Chain A
Amino acid sequence: MKELLVLSLAFYLVGLIQAGLVFLQKPRFPFYATITSSLAGFALHTVALIIRGKQVDRCPIALQPELLLFLGWTLVLYYIIASIWNRNQIFTNYVFPFAFLCTIIGVLLPLPSIAPLGLRVGGSFLFPIHVSMVMFAYAAFFITFITALIYIFQERQLKLKRFKSILGRFPALDTCDSISYKSTSIGFILLTIGIVTGIIWSGQRYGVYWHGDPIEIITMLIWVNYMFMIHYRVTAGWRGRRAAIVAIVGFAFILFSLAGLKYLGRVHVFVG
């Protein structure tokens, strides 16, 4: 399985280099070259995830490296769909390095071949829906985060009148803003579905809906954060820089829940 992933990373290199070329404003690879190689990488990536699922006989999105691999997979999926949708949108290229990063970290982290305690979760279809929805939501928020970074950097440069560093390199501010709004809304809906299915699943399995473990708490914080972001956009016209800051804060929570929570003791219901 690792070999497949390494191979798919090799295919992803093309997209990664393309992102660099866009950033450096050098002549780019033709569209079909990047799209074919990312499709090839994506296919291998998918097969690897399926093999992993067969190996451990459960939904392969539960452990940290698995989550990262799935997140990377989702971002590549976004890249493929978005770049077929609109070839000229240069933003899509900037998603790729992050997809690559998620995948490579997922590959590098040690992957236990035996499922830890309590992870024999087969039976209910709710568990895979719960995890994949949350992960899809995180991928959407990842995209919001990237637009926020680009927005803030560009806005800063424009205000300081340093035009050279940004001209032609990044998408327009209002493009960033509209991609951000769309992905946040989609992410928010998915996260809501993910949380609700998680609660129902927990109730079915353990008879308890809310365990109060760190992951649950932080996920609720994330949910509140993005709700806040959407709410203020609609009511008070928070967009642009302010929205970008909220998006970055929200994403910090997500990173923390993906990476940092291991160190906070009992992690999430099924792991504990």
Chain B
Amino acid sequence: MSIILVGLNHKTAPVEVRERLAFNETMLAPALRGLVQSGNVSEAMIVSTCNRVEIVAASQSEPSVTLQQVCRFLHEFHHLPTFIYNDHLYTHADRLAVRHLFRVASSLDSMVLGESQVLGQVKTAYSKAQEVGTVGRILNQLLNRAFNVAKRIRTETEIGSAATSVSSVAIELTKKIFDRLDNKKVLLVGAGEMTELAARYLINEGVKEFLICNRTPERAMELCEKFGGEVIEFSQLKFQLPRADIVVCSTGASDYIINATDCKRALEIRRYRPIFFIDISVPRNIDPAVGKLDSIFLFDIDDLESVVSENLRQRQKEADKAETIVEKEVEAFFERLDVTEIGPTIAALKEHLTEIAFAEFERTRPKLGQLSLEQEEAIKQHLLTSLVNKFMHPMIMTLREGSRNTNENYNIVELYHEAYNLKDRIANFEERRTGKDRRVDVK
């Protein structure tokens, strides 16, 4: 049995390569089917986003064989000469593959460390594969584990907590001043891309009213149509200032367009209700002296960016903690995987051996003469059981070892099944287990 992962991401490949290997919505289903039909890949899943393409597959053969198969599939599916992408591709097997997937799902491998989108993307990819029916026992376990790991990292570390873009930092600061934004008026000075982006963020936070002021009113009108609101003539800017609770300023002006005197007047008219200024223009458009006034909070692009870089540093620190969690979880995953796979075999074997031991004891029982109840108990509970356990120990070890390195010609689990005739017993277990489940369900 092996789990492998083939992929490329924003770190290993430029966008020209990533886009050629990407699987879009319509290609996914045929690709997944193609994967499981090629050779002996038994389970497969594809995560394809703008930053990465990852193919996760499980099979019963050697990892190297599976890797080759998946690479060949990639080549055939996309009809691309391998030299285009070979240098950018990474291939992982078993532990490394699982580790990589855990890191991707927990956003440790993302461009912006700790972002939350990628988990959703992995989830979508997984449900797509479920839909097509290309995931089975191993990938189900693997993905569920991966989602758990991502959740655990999100709650146990602060990797996703701090804002990492200028706009989201600006929003966070706004919320330090205003509890709610849905009843606040926003004045956009300048109608460029930056103010538009800021406006989108603010709408997301519930802002409904905009005042838009631009040197050329046409562009302001355009924004106005998009977001609703009111266009203000540039010459009227300082008279309209008192109406705004939040001012976002980004123009190409080379000088201050809002000064302290205007703001003082505005504050008096507003009865000192606070105003929040964000100046994202370079050179700055709002006189820094404005920020010294009571009830006015002014932040420029440097202030916001310093928060962003501080937060990113913080995330990097948290990432180290997350990596430790990933390492532990990889171990835990393999331990559980082994156990679930050989679990029924071990149980059946134990039952078989115990039955033999007890039967032999009963056969010899008459020859043993008078035995007290305690003595009989001691023989059954301690002597026989621990003998069985001792006998089983090396068997379990070889089973565990063998189940990790199976190949087509030699399967130790099968060997045990045949040697001890365990097949019926295991089937019997399975029946009992599902029977029990059914009863629980009825309850």
Contacts and interface: CB of A to CB of B under 8 A. Distances in A.
Interface of A: 27, 154, 158-159, 161, 163-164, 166-167, 170-175, 178, 236-242
Contact of B175 (A172, A238, A240): A172
Given A158-B173, A239-B295, 12 more contacts: A158-B176, A161-B303, A163-B176, A166-B176, A167-B162, A172-B176, A173-B176, A174-B177, A178-B179, A238-B272, A239-B273, A240-B294
Contacts of B173: 158, 163
A151 to B, nearest CB: 11
Contacts of A241: 294-295
B178 A164 contact: no
Given A237-B272, A240-B272, A159 B176 contact: no
Contacts of B162: 167
A145 B399 CA distance: 70
B294 A174 contact: no
Given A161-B303, A242-B294, A167 B272 contact: no
Contacts of B344: none
B418 to A, nearest CB: 53
B174 to A, nearest CB: 9
Interface in B252-300: 268, 270-274, 291-292, 294-295, 297, 299
With a 10 A CB-CB cut-off, give which of A174, A238, A239 has the most chain B CB atoms: A174
B401 interface: no
A240 B267 CA distance: 12
Contact of B297 (A159, A166, A236, A239): A159
27 contacts: A158-B173, A158-B297, A159-B292, A159-B297, A161-B299, A161-B303, A161-B306, A163-B173, A163-B307, A167-B162, A167-B172, A170-B176, A171-B179, A172-B176, A172-B179, A173-B274, A174-B177, A174-B274, A175-B179, A237-B272, A238-B272, A239-B271, A239-B273, A240-B274, A240-B295, A241-B295, A242-B294
A237 B303 contact: no
B295 A167 contact: no
Interface string B151-174: 000010000001000000000110
Given A163-B173, A164-B310, A237-B271, A174 B178 contact: yes
A246 to B, nearest CB: 14
A159 B276 CA distance: 12
Contact of B177 (A161, A173, A238): A173
Contacts of B155: 27
Given A163-B307, A237-B270, A238-B272, A172 B294 contact: no
A115 B274 CA distance: 52
Contacts of A172: 175-179
Given A159-B291, A239-B272, A174 B303 contact: no
A239 B268 CA distance: 12
Find the residue from B155, B176, B178, B310 having the highest chain A CB count within 10 A. Answer: B176
Interface in B4-33: none
Contact of A237 (B172, B273, B297): B273
Interface residues of B, number: 25
Choose among A166, A239, A241 the residue with the greatest number of B CB atoms under 10 Å from its CB.
A239
Nearest to A89: B179
B2 to A, nearest CB: 39
A238 B271 CA distance: 7
Max chain B C-beta neighbours (<10 A), residue from A167, A178, A238, A241: A167
A240 B295 CA distance: 7
A163 B305 CA distance: 12
A158 B295 CA distance: 11
B180 to A, nearest CB: 8
Closest 6 pairs between A and B when the two form their complex, measured CB to CB: A237-B271, A237-B272, A172-B179, A175-B179, A173-B177, A240-B295
Contacts of B303: 161
Nearest to A238: B272
Given A163-B307, A241-B295, A158 B177 contact: yes
Nearest to B294: A241
Contact of B176 (A167, A236, A239): A167
Nearest to A243: B272
B330 to A, nearest CB: 25
Contacts of A158: 173, 176-177, 297
Nearest to B298: A159
A125 to B, nearest CB: 41
A178 B274 CA distance: 13
Interface string B163-200: 00000000011011111000000000000000000000
Contacts of A164: 307, 310
B321 to A, nearest CB: 15
B297 to A, nearest CB: 6
Nearest to B310: A164
Contacts of A242: 272, 294
Contacts of A175: 179
Interface string B341-371: 0000000000000000000000000000000
Contacts of B272: 237-240, 242
Interface in B40-65: none
A236 B269 CA distance: 10
Contacts of B268: 237
B205 to A, nearest CB: 13
Contacts of A166: 176
Given A240-B274, A242-B294, A174 B179 contact: yes
Nearest to B174: A172
Contacts of A173: 176-178, 274
A161 B268 CA distance: 25
A27 B175 CA distance: 21
A175 B155 CA distance: 28
Nearest to B292: A159
A222 B204 CA distance: 45
A138 B287 CA distance: 43
A174 B274 CA distance: 8
A174 B272 CA distance: 12
Nearest to B272: A237
A190 to B, nearest CB: 26
A172 B310 CA distance: 22
